[in-house]
Amino acid sequence: MKRFDVFKERAHHISFVIILCLSLYASGAAHASFTIDDEKKLGKEFYEKLDKSNVLIHDQKIHEYVNRVGSTVLAQSEKAPFEFHFSVIKDSAINAFATPGGYVYVNRGLITLVEKESELAAVLAHEIAHVNARHIASIIERSQKIGIATLAAILAGAFLGGGGQLTAAATSFSLATATTLNLKYSREHEEEADRLGMYYLVSAGYDGKAMLDFLKTMRRYEFYSNTIPSYFLTHPGTDERISYLDALLQTTYIHRGAENIIGTLKRTQTTLMFGEKNLDSSLKHFQKELQKNQNDVDALYGIAVIQERLGRYPESIENFRRALSLSPNDEDVVRDLGIVYFKLGQTSEAIDCLQRAVALSGNNTDAYLYLGRSYEQLGDYATALSIYKKLENKRIDDADVYYSIAIAYGKTHNPGASHYHFGLYFKKKNKRESALYHFKEALKYFPQYSEKYEEIEKEIKFVKR
């Protein structure tokens, strides 16, 4: 059985109360029905608010993994009128939920708890079923007429609350006059989501028993931790669900499927554990895993990363090298070893590792960033800039990336591009006046009506707002 002491942080209470704005369309019209377009607007607004609150994980490989598992299951569902989005929340509470419009969220704590990929797929299948069956929409439709002009900033109290980072995110939703609407799933909702989800899961090739196993794992977690998982609060009727799923497995889904299809769950869990606040606890977890298997590359990788963060560089390098001896083409290990060398000022060793990491994966943003910084350390700003340019079309969450690009453009005598990227840096840092200064300076170096000029003007208007 998986260790549960990693998950000691008390699960947040995620309420099933949704706060809805009473403001109407400019025309003053009120609507009794909650349309597909309304669902899309609501889901998009909720996602954007969470994103701005910095509670979503944007690690590329984690996102790709969860999206691939979700898409594998989604492909087996009926054609949905939504474009689905799968996101991971920076929260160790064990929960997953879906909002109208095809947005599915799963907490870091749940992903690190599941024991096999099929269990994660089962959770996503259940949430996809809630969306496809329009359960929340049906509750809203049965309520009194509520103006939906903005159904903007609306899922503020839904699924979020109980303290911690998610409560802080909930307060970022700006609401004036509001009312509450009880959105607790009914027993019939849960049964339908399990029935549809089981069909999606098995049709995708996963073992249907995983849906039952996950609920039993949750029960064990509750027993050992004396904490009620948030998932039980947002998905009630667990005992009835276990009985219902068991009956389906005994009568309809008797053939066993795969436990893993995508196959990188353990590395995803390892990466997610780097986000835990208690590094010593994470280090002990990886050390225990290594005791079970001395050739566990993920455990060695986890130990090496945590040791680096604790400043134990010689031990970190040793464990990175041990991991590479077992898996020479592991891009994560190669990249992070290069980053350690960079931090220690061993530039040539850093460049060797980071060039290998880039060759192994052309989408490794951190490898490009630290490779560019390594060339900066050598004073080779032209090479650094050529590397940074490969990052410009990627989503960049780290403000310091823009700073590095700005410096490289300045050192290579391109003041317009340098000012522009300093503007992006200060915008990311929420320093409005500094951002405006650099954007306005950047305008001086580009022809009026050019594409770049118009792009900078848009940035200026955005910052002013």
pTM for this entry = 0.81
For 314-332, how does the pLDDT look when each residue is reduced to its tens digit (9 = 90+)?
999 999 999 999 999 999 9
| pLDDT bucket at 206, cuts 50 / 70 / 90 | very high
**DSSP codes, 102-127:** TEEEEEHHHHHH-SSHHHHHHHHHHH
| pLDDT bucket at 27, cuts 50 / 70 / 90 | very low
The separation between CA 373 and the C-alpha centre of its own chain, rounded to angstroms, equals 27
pLDDT at 237: 81
Q: Under DSSP, is residue 99 helix (H, G, I), strand (E, B) or coil? A: strand
Give backbone dihedrals phi and psi of 155, rounded to 5 degrees, phi first.
-85, 30
| pLDDT bucket at 157, cuts 50 / 70 / 90 | very low
For 76-122, how does the pLDDT look when each residue is reduced to its tens digit (9 = 90+)?
988 778 899 999 999 888 889 998 899 999 999 999 999 999 999 99
CB-side exposure of 448: number of CA atoms within 13 Å? 0
User: How far apart are the C-alpha atoms of 163 and 161, rounded to whole Å?
Assistant: 6
User: How far apart are the C-alpha atoms of 95 and 158, rounded to whole Å?
Assistant: 13
Domains of the chain are 5-251 (no CATH), 395-465 (1.25.40)
For 403-421, how does the pLDDT look when each residue is reduced to its tens digit (9 = 90+)?
989 999 999 999 999 999 9
User: How far apart are the C-alpha atoms of 201 and 258, rounded to whole Å?
Assistant: 10
User: How far apart are the C-alpha atoms of 305 and 299, rounded to whole Å?
Assistant: 10
